[in-house]
Amino acid sequence: MSVPVICTEVAKTFRGSIEAVSPMTVSFAAGQTTALVGPSGCGKSTLLRMIAGLETPSAGQITIADQPPEVIRRSAGLSVAFQDPSLLPWRSVRKNIELALDLARMPKTPNQIEQLIHLVGLDGFADTRPAELSGGMRQRAAIARALSTRPKLLLLDEPFGAVDELTRKQLANDLPGIWEASGTTTLLVTHSVSEAVALSDRVIVLSARPAQVVADIDIPFARPRTPDLLYKAEFTKIMDEVYEALAKGVSGTLPKAAQ
Ligand SMILES: Nc1ncnc2c1ncn2[C@@H]1O[C@H](COP(=O)(O)OP(=O)(O)O)[C@@H](O)[C@H]1O
Ligand SMILES: [Mg+2]
């Protein structure tokens, strides 16, 4: 089960003056993985937080399967894994995952929890507290927790930021399998253009603040995707397209459609 997300003329202004997101209309199809890329500070996290129902838009409307974000959030239908993993420090990795399942009123199946811990490469750390883990390990624990409730909508904000290169590759390899199997609608904010293209069905390039859509690029590669995709000419061509759009969004020379 997955859900579509529709943002209509959504805007956010902080303290009456900082325009983080200017009126933006964008929708995300059910079951698709969309990557959002854009310069630092352009409003990506703000957009994701509004979709998560954690921040109220200053204008416009967001619906998730025709409901406001709060509704799906309360029913544990959406999960977030943000840059700054908000794990409870006094609870082990396992207990953090169990708490998410409790809050969602879902069964705490030990096998399933072990599988998730294995998936994110934290074997042997199930009973360790976040304070004793590295930043990257904490991020991986937060990803496991986000996936545990089998959300219909998964919001990932630079979830691989502090993860080391090798694990990052491993996660990038394994995670799409989960999204595909469960038909989760996934929004992924990432700094890495290659990650955006490799993982998603669609890449949305945002301009410098206030964020506007500079380019909306379909990623046509069949799934499951294999690591050799990264060396193919078509892959490089799409990456170039993304880089070009990013440059336009920074220099302010937006294409007509985005003006
Ligand atoms: N709670 C807040 N209060 C005031 N300004 C904020 C707040 N959150 C974000 N901003 C500002 O909004 C802009 C967009 O921030 P953010 O969405 O975090 O960007 P990104 O995730 O693309 O790096 C930035 O200028 C940031 O300083
Ligand atoms: Mg951010």
The residue nearest atom 25 of ligand 1, judged by CA position, is 41
DSSP state of 191: S
Contact indicator for 147, 174 with CB cutoff of 8 Å: no
Which pLDDT score is estimated for 175?
A: 82
Closest Cα to residue 230, out of 201, 202, 196, 203? 196
Q: Which ligand is nearest to the CA of 208?
A: 1
pLDDT in tens, the chain (259 residues): 679 999 999 999 998 888 999 999 999 999 999 999 999 999 999 999 999 999 999 999 999 999 999 999 988 899 999 877 789 999 999 999 999 999 999 999 999 999 999 988 899 999 999 999 988 889 899 999 999 999 999 999 998 887 888 888 888 888 887 777 778 999 999 989 999 999 999 999 999 998 889 999 999 999 888 889 999 999 999 999 999 999 998 886 555 554 4
The 202-206 sheet, strands edge to edge: 78-81, 153-157, 185-189, 33-37, 202-206, 213-218
Residue 71 Cα to ligand 1 middle (Å): 25
CA of 41 to the centre of ligand 1 (A): 6
Pocket lined around ligand 1, Cβ cut-off 6 Å: 14-15, 18, 20, 38, 40-46, 209
Asked if 122 and 149 count as a contact pair (C-beta separation under 8 A), the reply is: no
In three-state secondary structure terms, 246 is helix
Ligand 1 atom with the smallest distance to the CA of 38 is 22
Q: Is 170 within 8 Å of 186 (Cβ atoms)?
A: no
Q: What pTM was computed for the model?
A: 0.91
For ligand 2, the distance from its centroid to the CA atom of residue 206, given in whole angstroms, is: 12
Cβ contacts of 171 within 8 Å, gap of 6 or more: 120, 121, 140, 143, 160, 163
For ligand 1, atom 11, the nearest C-alpha belongs to 20
Using alpha carbons only, how large is the chain's radius of gyration in Å? Answer: 18
Distance 40 CA to ligand 2 centre (A): 7
